[in-house]
Amino acid sequence: MAEKIKNFFKKKKVDAKFKLAGPGHKLSESTINSQSSTSRKEAPLPARSGLTEESKVAAEAALARLQQTRDNPAFNTSLAAVKAQVKRELENEAAGNSKTAAEIKAVKEVPENDIDVPKNYAASGVFFNNDILPRDEWKCNIKKFLYEQLEEERGLTACLIIHSCNHNREKIETCIETLCKYLENIVTHPDEEKYQKIRMSNRAFNDRVLPIEGALDFLLASGFAQTKLSNAEGVEEDYLVFNKDNVASIEDLT
């Protein structure tokens, strides 16, 4: 099942990339474009000239002023003061880093409280907050996307809908157990007619299966078809009837 889900989304990513690539082009178009691009002549870059006489004089004057500044005792004193200040700041920063490292080590040594997390969960919680794409909006988009895939891959998509578009985890698990029991009875007793019909007015079906999104699509993908049959009192009711011709093999149901 995990491999099928990976392949399912891998295919969707490839389809999306093709759509983003835009319309196709003929092979002859690339040749024409390449020929036209190479035929264009690049404009020659203007050659850079050397320094003018005025620029040379200005540069020499600047160098002379810089030399005078270096020979000035007041400048040297200021430079020494700057160096001393930099040295003090570096020492203070080093002391601060040492303190920070000690604090981090102390935090790491604080024992963590054990939290009883279900083993099937990868994290203790998933928190989402985005003003641009609110939670209700992206959940709606996920639901819309999954329902669009039903015609292409009904069985797998129905499983994803069951797990992604319902909120009560306990009801989801109860629904899955009921669906598995339906299929298990068919595989174990392939000739028993009573296991091949599900009365849709049945209380268990209405309480455990029908309210869960994707459950009915899963049964239809498993070989069931909705039809009307007469019950024991002769009244027509809606039933889901299994037909082995709707699946490749009964073993595939497992």
- pLDDT, position 19: 66
Q: What amino acid is encoded at 157 in this protein?
A: T
138: pLDDT strictly greater than 90 = no
141: pLDDT strictly greater than 80 = yes
The model's confidence at residue 53, banded by pLDDT at 50, 70 and 90, is low
CA–chain centroid gap for 214, Å, is 22
**pLDDT tens string 68-117:** 655 555 545 556 666 677 677 777 777 776 666 666 666 556 555 555 55
d(CA 242, CA 17): 39
d(CA 192, CA 246): 17
CA–chain centroid gap for 64, Å, is 64
By the 10 Å C-beta count (0-12 exposed, 13-18 middle, 19+ buried), 90 is classed as: exposed
Q: What domains can you pick out in the chain, each with its CATH number?
A: 136-253 (1.20.58.2190)
Whole-model pTM: value is 0.52
Which alpha helices (H) appear in the chain, and where do they start and end? 2-20, 27-39, 53-71, 73-108, 135-148, 154-164, 169-188, 203-204, 215-221
| DSSP reduced 3-state for 3 | helix
Q: Which residue has the tokens 């003090």?
A: 88
| DSSP reduced 3-state for 113 | coil
- pLDDT, position 44: 56
Q: Compute how many other C-beta atoms are within 10 angstroms of the C-beta atom of residue 50.
A: 6
For residue 199, give the nearest of 231, 233, 244, 245 by alpha carbon: 231
What secondary structure letter does DSSP report for 91? H
- pLDDT, position 109: 60
DSSP 101-112: HHHHHHHHTSPP
- pLDDT, position 214: 95
Which is more confidently placed, 5 or 152? 152
Q: What amino acid is encoded at 244 in this protein?
A: K
**pLDDT tens string 1-49:** 556 666 766 777 777 666 666 666 555 555 555 555 555 555 555 555 5
- pLDDT, position 90: 74
Non-local (6+) Cβ contacts of 5 within 8 A are 156, 160
Q: C-alpha distances in angstroms, 41 versus 32, 44, 132? A: 16, 9, 47
Angle CA(176)–CA(179)–CA(180) in degrees, nearest 5? Answer: 85
Task: Quote the mean pLDDT of the chain.
Answer: 76
- pLDDT, position 244: 87
**pLDDT tens string 196-217:** 999 999 999 999 999 999 999 9
